[in-house]
Amino acid sequence: MNSIAETDRFALLGASSQDKSAPILPPLWRGGLAAAAGWAVAASLTWFWPDLTPWARTDLLALLELGVTLLLAAVALSGGGRFALIHPYNRWFGALAGILTLWQVLTAKTGLLPLPFFPPPQSILEVYTDDAARLFESVWRSLFLLIPGYAIGGILGFTTGALIGWSKAANYWGHPVLRFVGPLPATAWLPIAFFFFPGSHSASTFLVGLATFFPVAVLTASGVKGVNSAYYDIARTLGGSERFLILKVAVPAALPNVFVGLFMGLGSSFAVLIIAEMMGVKAGLGWYLQWAQGWAAYANLYGALIVMALLFSGLISLLFFVRDRVLAWQKGIVRW
């Protein structure tokens, strides 16, 4: 009976059934071939045009570019299949080759942009090959600060918000406090936190938690307050206890809001994390940035920024992935 329902649903949603009539020859991914050509140009330019002053990782860069060329070409020639997902991005693949080449020409090949502020791509590659251990440690030290703080702040924020949204008494006392204290950026608490907490690590965890707490609490509270009152009427007439009303009605109905809060909290926790690491923790990516700046190691600075972008963007993507799973029933929500 379920299978029938599923079929009906898919038919309703217009999802295509499995189409077995594949063409005999796989279609060529032309955009992919063009992008591969671009990367081939980038690789040969890196290899054959000598650097103004020799850089240690120019050969490796050329090899990597060649690798990308071959990979793109192989995918393009193999046609559709599981790689069909990336086909629409062919212009991005091509543009990346162009940007990389332009960057290299302006720096390593001609020196039009001055050192040390504009390091060539090969010097950033060198950061990754030669300073990987330190960078890696910075990443996990950052995560070690971020994740517990974010989790604690998120859980407390959710609980507080649900209470404020549900109980009149909690709202009476809690809401003004949230309104008054909430707008303070968590970074403003930094001097006090470092004074009150035994160590910089616990102080930073507190700050990250605080940065997460407020948006999650405020949005959870407004989510619970905004639940359609008819939902409660239904549950009450059906015999639902107060516990049932909170857990089975208020919380699921407020979840879309909670995720907006978690998203905002994640953004502000990144800011707090980096500043806390720069100001006191002496470890993590924020500290790495400051350390690199102290040595005028601009390649390390850019290298760390790229890692940070990948890390934070990955964490936000992960949050959105979880949200899309949890809120699969909802359609047309904000896309990341």
Partner 1 sequence: MVTNLDAPAKAGLSIQTRAVGHWFDSKDGRLDVLDDVTIDVEPGEFVALLGPSGCGKSTLLRLIAGLEAPRTGKVGADKIRIVGPDPSRLLVFQDPTLYPWRTVRENVALGLEATGQIKGSQARIDQALDLVGLRDFAGALPNELSGGMAQRAALARVLVNNPRLLLLDEPLGKLDSLTRMTLQAELVKLWKDAGFTALLVTHDVEEALLLAQRILVFSPRPARVVREIRVGAAYPRHRDAPELQALRREILVSLGHDHEL
Minimum CB separation from partner 1 for residue 241, in Å? 7
CB 164 within 8 A of CB 178: yes
Minimum CB separation from partner 1 for residue 8, in Å? 6
* Closer residue to partner 1 (CB): 13 or 25: 13
Residue 263 CB neighbours (<10 A)? 18
Minimum CB separation from partner 1 for residue 59, in Å? 56
Minimum CB separation from partner 1 for residue 251, in Å? 10
Minimum CB separation from partner 1 for residue 266, in Å? 23
Residue 70, Cα to own-chain centre: how many angstroms?
29
* Closer residue to partner 1 (CB): 170 or 327: 327
Minimum CB separation from partner 1 for residue 212, in Å? 24
Minimum CB separation from partner 1 for residue 252, in Å? 5
* Closer residue to partner 1 (CB): 175 or 236: 236
* Closer residue to partner 1 (CB): 134 or 225: 225
Buried b / exposed e over 110-134, threshold 16 CB at 10 Å, is eeeeeeeebbbbbbbbbbbeebeee
Binding site for partner 1 (CB under 8 A): 1-2, 4-6, 8-9, 12-13, 228, 230-231, 233-241, 244, 248-249, 252-253, 255, 327, 329-331
Minimum CB separation from partner 1 for residue 74, in Å? 41
CB 80 within 8 A of CB 30: no
* Closer residue to partner 1 (CB): 51 or 324: 324
* Closer residue to partner 1 (CB): 8 or 137: 8
* Closer residue to partner 1 (CB): 331 or 335: 331
* Closer residue to partner 1 (CB): 105 or 235: 235
Residue 37, Cα to own-chain centre: how many angstroms?
31
CB 336 within 8 A of CB 322: no
